[in-house]
Amino acid sequence: MTPVMQTTTDVALAATDERNWVIWSLLKTGQVLLFVLTLALLVAALVLADRKIWAAVQMRRGPNVVGAFGLLQTMADALKFFFKEIVIPAGSDKFLFILAPIIGLVMAFAAWAVVPVAPGWVISDINIGVLYVLALSSLGVYGIIIGGWASNSKYPFMGALRSAAQMVSYEVSIGFIILTVIFLSGSMNLTTIVDSQGPGIFNWNMFLLNPFGDYGWRILLIAPIMFYMGVLFFISALAETNRPPFDLPEAESELVAGYQVEYSSTPFLMFFFAEYVNIMLLSAMMTILFLGGWHAPINVSLPFGLQVPPFFWFFLKTAFIFFMFAMVKAIVPRYRYDQLMRLGWKVFLPTALVAVALVSTFVVAANNFGWNA
Amino acid sequence: MLIAITFYLMAFTAVAAAFMVVASRNPVHSVMYLILTFFSAAGLFILMGAEFIALLLVMVYVGAVAVLFLFVVMMLDVDFVELKQGFLQYIGIGATVALILLAEMIMVGAVYFTGESKTVVPTDPNTTNLEAFGQVLYTDYAGAFEAAGLILLVALIGAVVLTLRERKGVRTQNAAKQMSRTREDGVELIDIEPGQGLG
C-alpha cells in the first residue's frame, strides 16, 4: 500500500471500531432513509400548517377541501406537480437547469446528518457539527444561483443574483452569532452544545437567567446579550431561507417568481421542498443553539413513572420556531432590497461582532477568576 | 475497503474536474468544475482526518469565494473569438509558468515517494483538529497570525478606498431619518375649495 492509503485506513479503522464496513454502511443508510422520510412527511405537514396559519391571520379558512380539514391538500399538490410536464426553456443550459434543484434539495437534506434530535438520535455525531451545518447551508445558495443562470431569462437571473448576495451577507452574521454560543459551550459538537444548556428554561442560551448555575449570578451579565443573539439568529434565519419579509429573490411584484420563473413540475417541487427542509433545519438549529435542544423547559412529572420523551420537546420547540416563521410571513411586509442589505451589514454584523467580543471576554474572565467553579 | 473506494473516487473526481476547469468552453461551467474540485479536495482532507480544514475549505472557498467567481463570470459577456485573438501573444508566458509548475510538482512527488512517509493525522490522538489548530495559530505562531490578519485588514481598506467614490447629486436614503418620521410631519391635510385648486 502507498503511504497515502496507510494513513487513510488508520483513520477509517479508528472511526468504525473494526466493525464490518458493509453492515456499518447499511445501518447508516437505514438511518439516513429514516431521517429523509420523516423530513419529507414533516414538510407535507408544514406546508399545510404554514397555509393554515397564514389563512387564520387573514381570517380565511385556508385549504379545507381535500381530506378532513384539508389535511391531504399538500399530497394533492405534490401529486399534481409530479404528473405535470417538465418544461425546459429552449435557450437554457439543460444540464445545469436540471442539476440546480437537485443541488438545492441534496444540500438541504445533507445538513441534517449532524442534527441531534434526541440524545443519541443523530446520524453522525461529528465534533465540528456546527461548522458542517454552516458549510452546507452556504452551499444551498448554489441551487438558486445555478437555477437562475441556467434558465437564461432575465427575471430568474435577477432573482438569483439577489439571493446570492442576500445569503452570503447573512451567513456572516449567522457565523458570528453561532460563535457566541460556541464560546459558552466550549465545543462545536451539537450534542455537547445542547448538554451544556441542560434542563430548565433559564439554563438555555437565550434565557440565561438562572443565578445558581455554573457561572453564578454573573451569568446575568451576558443574559441580555445572548437573548439579543437569539433574536438576531431568528431574523438572520428568515433571511437565510428567503422567507418573508426577506423573500426578495422571489418577490412577485418585481420579479414574478424570481429564480423559479422557468421551473415547472418536479424541478419546481424540488426547489419548494428544499426551501421547507431548510426552514426546518434553521428552526432545529435555533432550538439546539438557543433553546436547549431536547431538554424540558420545566420539570414535568407524569403518572406511573413515565417520562416525556426528549424528542417530544425537541419537536415542540422546532414547531414553535416554525410557527414564528409562519406568523412573520403573515404579519410583516416585505423589505426593500437596499434596506435588507443595510440591515445585514450595518446593523446585524457590527452588533454581532461586539457581542462576540463581550461574550469571549466574559468566558475568559470566568476562567481566569474562577467564576465557573 | 470503503475508504480506498472513496479515496480513489475523490482523487479521480478532483483531477478530472481540475482538468475540465481549463478544458470547458463555457466559463460558468469552468467555475462549476472548480467548485467540484474544491469539494473533492475537501473530501480528501476528511479522509486524512483533517475535518476542520475540510469544512473551512467548503465554507470559505466553495461557499463564498466561488460564489463571487460565479457572480463575476455570469455577468461577463465573454466573446470567444476576441479572446482567442491574443492567444499567441501570451503563449510564451503561459508556457513558462506551466513548465515551472510542472517542475515543482515533479520535485514534490519525487521527495514524497523517495523519502519517509509523512502522516497528516495529529500525532496525539486525544487532541481534536480544532485544538491542534488553535494551538498552532493562536499560541505557537500568534504573532505571525496576527500580522497576516493585519495585512488582510490593509488589503480590505485598500479595496474600499479604491472603489469608494462620492458622487454628487445622488439621492440617498437616510434610514434613521426615515424611521423617525411621524404622522405629524409626514401628512398634511388641506381643504381644497371647489373650483379653486391648490393655487
Res A231: pLDDT: 92
- Nearest chain B CA: its distance from A150 CA (Å): 10
Q: Is B130 on the interface with A (CB under 8 A)?
A: yes
Q: What is the mean pLDDT of residues A101-113?
A: 89
For residues A278 and A167, give the distance between their C-alpha atoms in angstroms, rounded to a whole number: 13
Please say whether the beta carbons of B66 and A170 come within 8 A.
no
For residues A13 and A11, give the distance between their C-alpha atoms in angstroms, rounded to a whole number: 5
Q: Do B67 and A164 touch (CB under 8 A)?
A: yes
Percent above pLDDT 90 for chain A:
9
For residues A18 and A158, give the distance between their C-alpha atoms in angstroms, rounded to a whole number: 52
| Strand, coil or helix: A307 | coil
Query: C-alpha grid cell for residue A176?
Result: 458570528
Q: Which residues have C-beta within 8 Å of that of residue A350, sequence separation ≥ 6? A: none
The DSSP symbol for B12 reads H
Please say whether the beta carbons of A223 and A208 come within 8 A.
yes
Q: Is B122 on the interface with A (CB under 8 A)?
A: no
Query: C-alpha grid cell for residue A164?
Result: 446570492
Q: Is B72 on the interface with A (CB under 8 A)?
A: no
Please say whether the beta carbons of A85 and A262 come within 8 A.
no
* CA B113 vs CA A3, B7, B9, B197: distances in Å: 9, 18, 22, 92
Res A306: pLDDT: 75
* CA A195 vs CA A117, A185, A215, B90: distances in Å: 12, 9, 16, 60
Tell me which chain B residues have a C-beta less than 8 angstroms from the C-beta of A146.
32
The pLDDT-based confidence of B108 (bands split at 50, 70, 90) is confident
Interface mutation target, options A9, A139, A178, chain B, most CBs of B under 10 Å? A139
| Strand, coil or helix: A243 | coil
For residues A90 and A77, give the distance between their C-alpha atoms in angstroms, rounded to a whole number: 27
Considering only residues A282 and A4, tell me which one the structure prediction assigns the higher pLDDT. Answer: A282
Q: Is B19 on the interface with A (CB under 8 A)?
A: no
Q: Is A268 on the interface with B (CB under 8 A)?
A: no
Poorest-pLDDT segment among A339-348, A350-359, B76-85 = B76-85
Q: Is B62 on the interface with A (CB under 8 A)?
A: yes
pLDDT digits (tens, 9 = 90+) for A253-298: 677 777 777 888 888 888 888 889 999 999 999 999 888 888 888 7
Q: What is the mean pLDDT of residues A199-205?
A: 81
Looking at chain A, list the stretches that DSSP marks H as alpha helix, in order from N- to C-terminal side.
3-16, 21-57, 73-83, 94-110, 129-150, 154-185, 190-197, 219-240, 252-255, 265-290, 310-331, 337-342, 349-369
Res A121: pLDDT: 80
Please say whether the beta carbons of A170 and A240 come within 8 A.
yes
Q: What is the mean pLDDT of residues A94-117?
A: 88
The pLDDT-based confidence of A93 (bands split at 50, 70, 90) is confident
- Nearest chain A CA: its distance from B188 CA (Å): 25
For residues B66 and B58, give the distance between their C-alpha atoms in angstroms, rounded to a whole number: 10
pLDDT digits (tens, 9 = 90+) for A167-180: 888 888 898 999 99
For residues A213 and B55, give the distance between their C-alpha atoms in angstroms, rounded to a whole number: 34
pLDDT digits (tens, 9 = 90+) for A314-329: 888 899 999 999 999 8
Cell 483531477 appears where? B15
Nearest to B130 among A6, A9, A128 (CB): A128
Is the confidence at residue A6, as pLDDT, over 70?
no
Q: Give φ, ψ of A14 to 5 degrees.
A: -65, -35
Cell 437565550 appears where? A206
Q: Is A20 on the interface with B (CB under 8 A)?
A: no
pLDDT digits (tens, 9 = 90+) for B130-178: 777 888 888 888 899 999 999 999 999 999 999 888 888 888 778 788 8
ipTM over 0.85: no
Q: Is B56 on the interface with A (CB under 8 A)?
A: yes
What's the whole-number average pLDDT of chain B?
Answer: 82
Q: Do A7 and B129 touch (CB under 8 A)?
A: no
Q: Do A149 and B74 touch (CB under 8 A)?
A: yes
Q: Do B55 and A132 touch (CB under 8 A)?
A: yes
Is the confidence at residue A18, as pLDDT, over 70?
no
Res A69: pLDDT: 79
Res B199: pLDDT: 60
Is the confidence at residue A10, as pLDDT, over 70?
no
The pLDDT-based confidence of A1 (bands split at 50, 70, 90) is very low
Query: C-alpha grid cell for residue A302?
Result: 407524569
Is the confidence at residue A62, as pLDDT, over 70?
yes
pTM: 0.82
Is the confidence at residue B124, as pLDDT, over 70?
no
Nearest to A127 among B2, B7, B128 (CB): B128
The pLDDT-based confidence of A216 (bands split at 50, 70, 90) is confident
Q: Is A132 on the interface with B (CB under 8 A)?
A: yes
Q: Do A135 and B125 touch (CB under 8 A)?
A: no
Q: Which residues have C-beta within 8 Å of that of residue A318, sequence separation ≥ 6? A: A280, A283, A284, A286, A287
The residue count for chain A = 373
Tell me which chain B residues have a C-beta less than 8 angstroms from the C-beta of A126.
51
Tell me which chain A residues have a C-beta less than 8 angstroms from the C-beta of B112.
3
CA angle A191, A192, A193 (to 5 degrees): 90
The pLDDT-based confidence of A358 (bands split at 50, 70, 90) is very high
Is the confidence at residue B118, as pLDDT, over 70?
no
Q: Do B67 and A145 touch (CB under 8 A)?
A: yes
pLDDT digits (tens, 9 = 90+) for A129-163: 888 888 888 888 888 888 888 888 888 888 888 88
Exposed / middle / buried, residue B65 (Cβ in 10 Å: 0-12, 13-18, 19+): middle
Is the confidence at residue A219, as pLDDT, over 90?
no
Nearest to A7 among B63, B112, B120 (CB): B120
Q: Is B108 on the interface with A (CB under 8 A)?
A: no
Tell me which chain B residues have a C-beta less than 8 angstroms from the C-beta of A5.
3-4, 7
pLDDT digits (tens, 9 = 90+) for B47-61: 877 788 888 888 888
- Nearest chain B CA: its distance from A11 CA (Å): 6
Q: Is B71 on the interface with A (CB under 8 A)?
A: yes
Q: Is B28 on the interface with A (CB under 8 A)?
A: yes
* CA A118 vs CA A31, A37, A281, A301, B174: distances in Å: 14, 17, 15, 19, 47
Q: Which residue of A has its CA nearest to B120?
A: A7
